[in-house]
Amino acid sequence: MALRDKVRFITPYTPGEQPRESGIIKLNTNECPYPPSPEFARTMAQIPPESFRLYPDPNENELRDALSEVYGIPKERIYAGVGSDEVLALAFLTFFTGGGPLLFPDITYSFYPVWADLYQIPVRTVPLDEDFRIHAEDYCTQEDKAGIIIANPNAPTGLYAGLDLIERILQANPGIVVIVDEAYIDFGGESALPLIDKYDNLVVVRTCSKSRSLAGLRIGYAFGPQMLMDALWAVRNSFNSYTLNHASIVGGAAAVRDTAYLKQTCERIIATRERLAGELRAMGFTFPPSSANFIFAKHETVPGSEIFAALRERKIFVRRWDLPRIGDYLRITVGSDAETDALVAALREIIKEKGAEV
Ligand code: PMP
């Protein structure tokens, strides 16, 4: 047997580009245009270098205490890890490898099929309707399932599904873990978090990367019944005892506690989102209503690939997937007001050049 045949090769997830050059308007990975909380900055500046001599707290107590206080959930029901990507990757391994297919929408976070492939979990994708909406009954089938994962608001559509839909799915699937990935929930919609007291099969996953402006620190967290969280910790501890580093634990706790700053940041982004939505509509774009910090938009006449390339020439990066159903859509992160002005001016120019009415 050749060496190659003994090695596991897998097609990985492709994250949005992180360009090194300056002067780019970066609206491609849903980062926050505003700085992290000043409380976070103060805390980070005060961490003595000496404290990095020791391994970090494997139980991440400071961060989990902060999450517990802010969200009113007992600490035993909170897990935290290196970005929600790592939390989700471990959750797939912990909850979804028991047999049967994992269900998720055909258009959703494109890391889900990659984790499924990594763990060889069979997948059944469930088509969203014409308007990119999720229908609860599609997930209420009697088949044997490994689990269900729904991003709410969904990515890359930005559409929020009501809690009644989430509850119907939870009720129809006792004994099957349902993960609700709430990476964007701070920008719109009601969280499924209060439902964890009512359903023993619900896990809610969140992140500090978007609304708390800490994509570079990598903090994600999960809430769920203690039995499921204990299982998640055991899998984590069979893989790496120290996933979050000391700075993330301490700085993350300070950021989580600064709820006033979070609220202020989200309000600014929502206001800019609504202004951008108005501008896009006036230029002939259509898009589902967004409850996230991005808009998933398609122009009525100009192909998405052309707009994407023309924006890139102007050093404006957005995200596009060359996939069925969504090839003409651009996922545009809501940036600062100045970035939005530059984006709108560029789009006007591009659409005019391509001969469409503006
Ligand atoms: N879930 C969804 C739906 C996302 O869009 C992202 C961001 N790419 C993540 C999870 C992961 O975010 P992070 O690992 O930065 O917490």
What token pair was written down for 255? 């950021």
Q: Is the CB of 149 under 6 A from ligand 1?
A: no
What token pair was written down for 47? 């961490």
- 333: helix, strand or coil: strand
Phi and psi at 79, nearest 5°, equal -120, 145
pLDDT of 358 strictly over 90: no
- Domains along the chain? 17-35+260-353 (3.90.1150.10), 38-43+53-257 (3.40.640.10)
How many angstroms separate the alpha carbon of residue 356 from the centre of ligand 1? 35
- pTM: predicted TM-score of the whole model, two decimal places: 0.97
Give the mean pLDDT of 2-28: 94
Give 209-218 pLDDT, tens digit per residue.
999 999 999 9
With a CB cutoff of 8 Å and minimum separation 6, the contacts of 146 are 96, 97, 98, 99, 100, 101, 102, 121, 122, 176
- 61: helix, strand or coil: helix
pLDDT of residue 132: 98
- 26: helix, strand or coil: strand
pLDDT of residue 324: 86
How many angstroms separate the alpha carbon of residue 84 from the centre of ligand 1? 6
Give the integer Cα–Cα distance in Å for 335 and 342.
Answer: 10
Phi and psi at 298, nearest 5°, equal -130, 140
pLDDT of 19 strictly over 80: yes
How many angstroms separate the alpha carbon of residue 54 from the centre of ligand 1? 29
- 117: helix, strand or coil: helix
Q: Environment class of residue 348 by beta-carbon count within 10 Å: exposed (0-12), middle (13-18) or buried (19+)? A: middle
Which amino acid appears at position 126 of this protein? V
pLDDT of residue 357: 55
Give the integer Cα–Cα distance in Å for 254 and 251.
Answer: 5
What token pair was written down for 31? 């980062």
Torsional sign, CA 132, 136, 138, 144: positive
Cis peptide before 153 (omega within 30 of 0): yes
More confident residue, 296 or 357: 296
Give the integer Cα–Cα distance in Å for 312 and 308.
Answer: 6
Q: Identify how many contiguous H helices and E strands the chain contains and give both numbers.
A: 11, 12
90, 109, 149, 214, best to mutate for ligand 1 pocket (most atoms within 8 Å of CB): 109
Give the mean pLDDT of 86-90: 98
Give 137-184 pLDDT, tens digit per residue.
999 999 999 999 999 999 999 999 999 999 999 999 999 999 999 999
Q: Is the CB of 243 under 6 A from ligand 1?
A: no
Which amino acid appears at position 252 of this protein? G
Give the integer Cα–Cα distance in Å for 102 and 125.
Answer: 8
